[in-house]
Amino acid sequence: MVQKGSNASEVLLRAKEMDEEIFLARLDKEQLERSGFDTSTFGLFSYVDIYLMWDGDEYMLKYQFDSDPRQTYYERSSTLGEEEELIHVVETYIALGGGEA
């Protein structure tokens, strides 16, 4: 689990070196929307757990809606653009809800 105030670069390094999912945050729908995430295609949900993963080639963000494994969405870092954007997204999620779940 990541605590608020954690450095995004450290979290990225830990996910890569430990080869495991790193919990970033549990956000409700409004918090997720405030982060800039488009929730319009995901239907009704109360909250989302967000994890950072390394798949051997690139980072991925895993979004699991209402703790239901059937409602999981993966976002590859390559779809976000530059590494700075991934760092910004990770920092945003940590600031909004890191360490709360």
pLDDT tens, per residue, the chain with 101 residues = 565 556 888 899 889 998 889 999 999 999 999 999 999 999 899 999 999 999 999 999 999 999 999 999 999 999 988 888 999 999 999 888 755 43
Say how many domains are in the chain.
1
Q: Does residue 69 lie within any of the structural domains? A: yes
Q: Does residue 88 lie within any of the structural domains? A: yes
**Contact predicate 68/84, CB 8 Å:** no
Q: Does residue 62 lie within any of the structural domains? A: yes
CA distance 59 to 53: 6
Q: Does residue 3 lie within any of the structural domains? A: no
CA distance 15 to 36: 23
What pTM, to 2 d.p., does this model score? Answer: 0.88
Q: Which domain holds residue 42?
A: 8-97
- In what order do the strands lie in the sheet containing 72-76? 22-28, 47-54, 59-65, 72-76
Q: Does residue 70 lie within any of the structural domains? A: yes
- The reported pLDDT for the residue numbered 38 is 93
Residue type, 38: D
Q: Does residue 14 lie within any of the structural domains? A: yes
Q: Does residue 27 lie within any of the structural domains? A: yes
Residue type, 85: E
